[in-house]
Structure 1
Amino acid sequence: MIARRPFLQLALGAATLPLAAFGARAESFPSRPVTIIVPFAAGGPTDVLARIIAEYMRGTLGHPVVIENITGASGTVAGLRASRAAPDGYTITIGHWGTHCLNGAIYQLQYDVREFEPLALIASGPQLVIGRPELPAKDLKGLIGWLKANGDKATAGTAGPGTGAHVAGVFFQQLTQTNFSFVPYRGAGPALNDLMASHIDIMFDQASNSLPQVKSGTVKAYAVTAPSRLATAPEIPTVDEAGLPGLYIAYWHGIWAPKGTPGEIVAVLSKAVMAALDEPAVGKRFAELGQGIPPPDKQGPASLRSHQAAEVEKWWPIVKSANIKPE
């Protein structure tokens, strides 16, 4: 027994080496730039939010935070890339209600949108129910009445099957018992252009995208899909005030790491994101984009995980009951 003790001590010491080495790696993280995968083109709402956050994360992490735009299939191409990235904290991804909730019910994915490691819930922006400038309805109740009377010819623009505008329209139909046709476009921009030109009748659009047109009078705004009014457009009533309580739809954004990223590294990244959100300049820029930042106690990994789970529970049955399929 005595002769074996040095061997046993050596074996136990060797067994602790990987753990010690990992601890050292976690303490030195990051030692090089971190990449944020953005699932949409440069210049879009998600890309803009990512670049704002990245700018301030750099100061906390001490290394550059690089943006990588990977487009295609409503964010699923980027989702697959992010899911297959090494779980070492050097590749993370930003996403939203569509990419990390709706896509899981619409697409046959090679990954699970619920299995990423959450870092932080960073923002939430409601949609607007908007209409073409000549639409006769003066308020939301009037719009619902007009749609019921003109369901055979009324049209709603979307950024394609399964996108937020489409799913929001389906939810609206279910709540109001209306029936109108959806017209898919290659993006929200072309759809909004056709709404302004009165080629389509209505649209459910991110407030950050259509507020300038509402302000200029080139489209009508009937309601904001949130329980409170927008600070940047207080004249637009909420759906509750306009007579359709419960039509809550928000493009919330979060940041995730690949499944299996160590907890110590998740904590470092989460702290960097939340420090960026605490910057007054970030709050100001987000507000200008129609995005509200959650309070600090609602930003962390646990909050993002629970929020995503609640959204999946709410929206997946709606998507599946409507048999929404990608093109």
Structure 2
Amino acid sequence: GQVADVPMTLLGRKDLPADGMANFIKYAKENGNKINLANAGLGAVSQLCGMLLQESLGVQFTTVPYAGTAPAMTALLGGQVDVLCDQTTQTIPQIKGERVKLYGVTTQERIKTLPDAPTLQEGGLKDFEVKVWHGVYAPKGTPPEAIDKFNAALRAALKDPVFTQKMAELGAEIVPEAKQTPEGLQTWLKSEVDKWGGVIRKAGVYAD
């Protein structure tokens, strides 16, 4: 079953000239590949978020992959790169410490953890939505009765108030009960494959 959705955040280095999403869009279109876009590595959600960002803006940045969010964030904090898109579970401490510029969150609606942060759709990127999501899987061939037991345990855990509070502090949201089932996870997975397959194909040469 599926566990939680985690929003992404679009960040800039502290001294990036553009303030606010509208100004960032203008700055991005004027500077194009002069802008260094970090990500947490090939295939990471931050790379996919960056690819969708470039497609939405109609520009191509210079992408810089790192071996994980930690070195990418270190490069952003040090000013070696200009922009990073990554999940709230990794970025909230830097945002709340005001060590980076926050341009917005990638969900359709504002999030409770960062209530003053606009969505990128509010900032001018129509239909822009990226969420990290977490699911629990078992090996192929696992007996159905075992899957049922695992799923019952998962759904019970997702009602634990300590767990839900911790997720909320990280900007994550427990998914609705319909998504907590094997069928719900499978349906969501298919929709994500369909969505990102198109983005990756459009990305072409800079998908790497």
TM-score range, shorter chain: over 0.9
Q: What are the Cα deviations for residues 99-147 of structure 1, in whole angstroms up to 9, with x where unaligned?
A: xxxxxxxxxxxxxxxxxxxxx1000001001000011111112111111
* CA distance, structure 2, for counterparts of residue 325 and residue 238 of structure 1: 26
Higher relative contact order by CA 8 Å / sep ≥ 6: 1 or 2?
2
Letter of the 1:207 counterpart = T
1:247 deviates by 1.2
Provide closer, same or farther for how the CA distance between residues 322 and 152 of structure 1 changes in structure 2, counting only shifts above 3 A. Answer: closer
Partner of residue 279, structure 1: 160
Runs of 4+, deviation exceeding 6 Å: 324-327
1:325 deviates by 9.1
TM-score (norm: length of structure 1): 0.61
1:272 deviates by 0.3
SS at match of 1:258: coil
- Pick from 286, 289, 292 the counterpart of residue 170 of structure 2: 289
Partner of residue 223, structure 1: 104
Q: Between Structure 1 and Structure 2, whose CA radius of gyration is higher?
A: 1
Unaligned runs of 5+ in 2: none
SS at match of 1:161: coil
Contact 2:2 2:135 in 1 (8 A): yes
Partner of residue 188, structure 1: 69
* CA distance, structure 2, for counterparts of residue 241 and residue 176 of structure 1: 14
Partner of residue 169, structure 1: 50
Contact 1:162 1:326 in 2 (8 A): no
Question: Aligned residues, how many?
Answer: 208
- Pick from 147, 153, 159 the counterpart of residue 40 of structure 2: 159
Letter of the 1:258 counterpart = P
* CA distance, structure 2, for counterparts of residue 198 and residue 212 of structure 1: 17
Report the RMSD for the aligned CA atoms in angstroms: 1.6
* CA distance, structure 2, for counterparts of residue 264 and residue 272 of structure 1: 13
Contact 1:161 1:324 in 2 (8 A): no
Matched, 1:314 2:195: yes
* CA distance, structure 2, for counterparts of residue 211 and residue 128 of structure 1: 9
Matched, 1:205 2:82: no
TM-score (norm: length of structure 2): 0.95
Unaligned runs of 5+ in 1: 1-119
Contact 2:105 2:118 in 1 (8 A): yes
Calculate percent identity across the aligned residue pairs.
36
Q: What are the Cα deviations for residues 60-87 of structure 1, in whole angstroms up to 9, with x where unaligned?
A: xxxxxxxxxxxxxxxxxxxxxxxxxxxx
* CA distance, structure 2, for counterparts of residue 252 and residue 271 of structure 1: 19
